[in-house]
Amino acid sequence: MTERIVLFLAKWRVWLGPILTVVFLVAAVWGWYSYTGQAVSVVIEGRPYQIHTRAASVGAVVEELDLPLTDADLIQPDPATRITPAQPITLTLARPITLQTDGQTRTLFTRQPTIAAFLTEAQIIVTPHDKILWDEQPASLQTRLHSAETDSPPTEKVTAGGFGLGGVSLRRAVQRARPQPVTLTLQRAVPVTLFDAGRAIRFFTTAATVQQALREQNINIFPEDRLAPGGDTSLGPEMRIFVERSIPVNLEVDGRVVNARTLKKTVGQFLVEQGIALMGQDYTVPDTARPLSVGDVVRVVRVDEILDITQKNLPFETNWVPDEQMALDTQTVRQHGHNGLQKTRTRIRYENGQEVWREVEDEWLHTEPETRIIAYGTKINVQTTDTEHGPIEYWRKISMLITPYSAATSGKEPDHPRYGITRSGLPAGYGKVAVDPKVIPLMTELYIPGYGPGLAADTGGLVLGKHVDLGYDEDQPLPNLYEWRDVYVLTPIPPPGEIRYVLPNWPQR
């Protein structure tokens, strides 16, 4: 390892002498140049830089430094001035501005403080209605071209050394210190005349299209309005714009409300525009021929007329026919009978689903009812039967509901003058029964199995039809009875006018 190091040092010893000689000569020349030149301060946009130069005048120094300056930049003092260490050279740099106006684009350099001064310098005439854009942002003639915000020195530190290196550094310093370039756009305003609702409105605008110009003037155009030329038309000088205004109209149709605008003149034309068709007897309020006015409400009335056929049953009648050949309490249907049918035709009118009137147009008997005929027996056969009380003779046997009662359960208080007195005037008690006199006449003698003979002497509010209430003495406990038994109606047979041949069918088992 040691041998390799020794060989490396021996190899480079041959080149080390010439290299040190060149470095020494360069340092000597630079020192001589610095010693024989003079120090000068160059101030670029307020920032000083020290250089050494052998040039005699300000112009010579600037030329020697080869700085990227323009004709609009300011060099102070005058370039012919001889330099002295006490006199700094001051450079005030112009701002590059890209000017877009009248269809042309050009780049100018200026040290003017405001846009107004710059445009005057560039011989550009501005009218009060023209629009100025500074990097696409609105600006005015008073907008300053130089400000602390836009013209602050660069934050990167730039230093200058001697003549050679210093020249390179100062070129970079000038490039960095020059104010930032901006784009200044001048949009020319053109005169436009708007004819709106009979009024002529003249204004100036920098908008590109008709629609943009109207929006700029806060002139609202509804989609239903008629605009000529169209909104996308490019604007030109002395352009004439015509607006035909639509009117607001409310439409009520098919259960909905439509807030619309229209240029149509009549109700009918408006409905066609809205795609609303009138069918049959449909109509509108107001009428379709009426001219439209602002704020009108057009109501479409849908009309439906229907013929309604209704039918009503006509109940048939029942005729009871006595038959002497048929046994008592027997019946037979000789004609079943059926209901009739009556039909009615009615015209009904609906408007928007609501009935407004109806009228009967015709009424006819479709089917006549047919009477039901029932024959009932009137033939009475007297019969006898043995009972626990001996044989009895009866002319009718009826199945009836049996219940018990006494004076105490008759519904009268003991101090009532009719307490314990039956409907017939007889005292209540055992052997006296209550009946429906329409079924069994009062004072008819009966025989009730399990009870014995009974006299139909009383009635009751709840004793109806085929029902017999068996009387008991007050000192007897009432049996728990609610059952059906055959009740025998004993002879003699009453006169035919007192016999109820057709018994009611209540109560039922």
Question: What string of pLDDT tens digits covers the 509 residues of the chain?
Answer: 555 544 544 554 555 555 555 444 544 444 444 445 688 999 999 899 998 888 889 988 998 888 999 989 999 999 989 988 888 999 999 999 999 998 899 999 999 999 999 999 989 999 888 899 999 899 999 999 875 444 444 433 333 333 333 445 789 999 999 999 999 999 888 999 999 988 999 999 989 899 999 999 999 999 999 999 999 999 888 899 999 999 999 999 999 999 999 999 999 999 999 999 999 999 999 999 999 999 999 999 999 999 999 999 999 999 999 999 999 999 999 999 999 999 999 999 999 999 999 999 999 999 999 999 999 999 999 999 999 999 999 999 999 999 999 999 988 899 999 999 999 999 999 999 999 999 999 999 999 999 999 999 999 999 999 999 999 999 999 999 999 999 999 999 999 989 999 999 999 98
Residue 395 shares a structural domain with residue 438: yes
Q: Note whether residue 268 is domain-resident.
A: yes
The answer to whether residues 12 and 56 belong to one domain is: no
Final residue in a domain of this structure, among 233, 265, 298: 298
Q: Residue 356 domain-assigned?
A: yes
Specify whether 466 is located in the same domain as 388: yes
By three-state DSSP, how is residue 28 classified?
helix
Q: Please count the structural domains in the chain.
A: 6
CB 503 within 8 A of CB 420: no
CATH of the domain at 454: 2.40.40.10
* Cα 380–chain centre separation: 85
Q: In which domain, by residue range, is 284 found?
A: 253-298
Of 450, 499, 444, which Cα lies nearest the Cα of 435?
444
Provide the strand spans (E) within 93-179.
Answer: 95-101, 104-110, 131-134, 137-139
Co-location of 178 and 45 in the same domain: yes
Residue with tokens 């009866």: 394
Do residues 344 and 421 both lie within one domain?
no
Q: Is 180 in the same domain as 194?
A: no
Q: What is the pTM of this model?
A: 0.54
Residues 6+ apart with CB under 8 A from 165: none
Claim to verify: residue 320 and residue 451 sit in the same structural domain: no
504 within domain boundaries: no
* Contacts (Cβ under 8 Å, ≥6 apart) of 252: 258, 297, 298, 299, 300
CA atoms within 13 A on the CB side of 138: 4
Q: Is residue 506 part of a domain?
A: no
180 and 45 together in one domain: yes
In degrees rounded to 5, what are phi and psi of residue 327?
A: -65, 150
**Nearest alpha-carbon partner for 439 in 456, 461, 422, 421:** 456
Q: For residue 33, report the phi and psi dihedrals to the nearest 5 degrees.
A: -65, -45
Q: Which residues contact 238 (CB under 8 A, 6 or more apart)?
A: 190, 191, 192, 193
Give the C-alpha separation, 488 to 381, whole Å: 13
Question: How far is 259 from 473, CA to CA, in rounded Å?
Answer: 92
The CB-based long-range contact list for 435-438 (8 Å cut-off, 24+ gap) reads: 435/459, 435/463, 435/467, 435/468, 435/469, 436/463, 436/464, 436/465, 436/466, 436/467, 438/500, 438/504
* Pair 346, 450 in one domain: no
